[in-house]
Amino acid sequence: MSRNALTVALGLFIVGWGTNVGTPYLVIYRDRLGLGANQTQLIFVIYVAGILSTLLISGQLSDRFGRRNVLIPSLLLSAVASALMILGRDSYAWLLFARVLLGVVSGASIGVGAAWLQELMGPAQQTRAAIVTTIATYGGFGIGPLVSMLWDYTLPWPLVLPFLLHVALAIGIVGPLRGVAETAPATSRSDRWRPRLQFGVPVEAVREFRWLIVPVAVWVFAFPSTGFALFPVLITDAVDARAVLIPGVAGALTAWSGAATRPIVNRLGATRSLPIGVAMGACGYMFGTAAFLTNAWLLVGPAAILLGGASGVVSTACLAKIGDMTSPETRGALTATFYLLAYSGMAMPLVITGLASVIGTTTALLVITAAAAIVAASTPTRRRLAGISNR
């Protein structure tokens, strides 16, 4: 992998890190600020609002003005968001605002960074570029909670210093990124740019995108968000340990399992990997539900591994398919469209707690597990509708 591609991957790693620095502290925030179950999950889920506000236009912006001109400001904004998370330790409003800002950063940077990597690595390495993107982002997602958990155990001011560390990293990568080759130079068009609803799906790929990508994309983050933001919170009160232990371990296991899925997609290919990934996620939900029902907190571990692995498989496979079906002119827009669908799954913990208030937590978990299983089982039918052979 070239130095240019490695630098962009490192930028994505740092964005992912910043996203999850505060995740192990959900229980601490809950107790420190006197929050209820839905308020606690909202800290995590409101991140989605920021993502949705920027995903579609960030791809268009990078197609028009260049990948570098979107990714570098996003990293600087990531540093600002981490600084604001420090204020959030004593203010629920600041906490929510900082999380929204982190969502804005992710929406503006991850899709753009993925497109930049695909272009830097070339048409012949689309699957490898998808794997590198997944390893970089999930590696960042995983290192954030791990560092925060260890900091809480060994070093002072855990609600302050881990965020300052991320601020330094986000600012530090800007210089190297300025030297990376631009693959989508700013156009010289004189017309004024206006945001528009542009999904970037080529006409010849509409059926495949609709039937193969759309039904599975939401699970890319529905699986891991439940693994490190819901199950650990549900089970923490039953464990005689520090509040950050289970969220920290679950967050690290979920993310690093997602980063370790390369052999599955390499061996099976993108299309055949998709149902395997969703089935893994359904099994992860079963383990998480069993942990909740029995207070067997050790089951959160295999749940996290399966949910993270499922997310990594589905994400890598979808990105590889998108790399094959798009063109350079719309790559940023189509990649952003995929992440728009994927990041909507981050709301899954709030969906489950909302359903739980009506039908009970156990029933809500079983309903979501069944939904994932149905998506996996419907793959042969969806492949036929997409015009892809099931052989």
Q: pLDDT per residue over 332-376, tens digit each? A: 778 878 888 998 898 898 899 899 999 999 999 999 999 999 999
Calculate ∠ Cα 149-155-157, nearest 5°: 90
Q: What is the DSSP letter of 173?
A: T
Task: Tell me if residue 387 falls in helix, strand or coil.
Answer: coil
pLDDT digits (tens, 9 = 90+) for 26-40: 888 988 999 987 888
pLDDT digits (tens, 9 = 90+) for 125-162: 878 888 888 889 888 888 888 898 889 888 899 999 99
Residue that has been written with the tokens 């800007």 in this structure: 174
CATH number of 3-176+201-385: 1.20.1250.20
Confidence of residue 391 (pLDDT cuts 50, 70, 90): very low
State the pLDDT at residue 325. Answer: 83
Q: Calculate mean pLDDT across residues 228-245.
A: 72
The separation between CA 92 and the C-alpha centre of its own chain, rounded to angstroms, equals 23
CB 140 within 8 A of CB 369: no
Q: How many CB atoms lie within 10 A of CB 359?
A: 11
CB 135 within 8 A of CB 16: no
Q: Which two tokens stand for residue 276?
A: 């395997």
Domain spans, the chain: 3-176+201-385
Query: With the CA atoms of 320, 199, 20 and 171 taken in that order, what torsion angle do they form, in degrees rounded to the nearest 10?
Result: 100
Per-position b or e across 292-307, b if 16+ CB within 10 A of its CB: beeeebebbebbbbbb
Any residues with CB less than 8 A from the CB of 13 and at least 6 apart, and which?
136, 137, 139, 140, 143
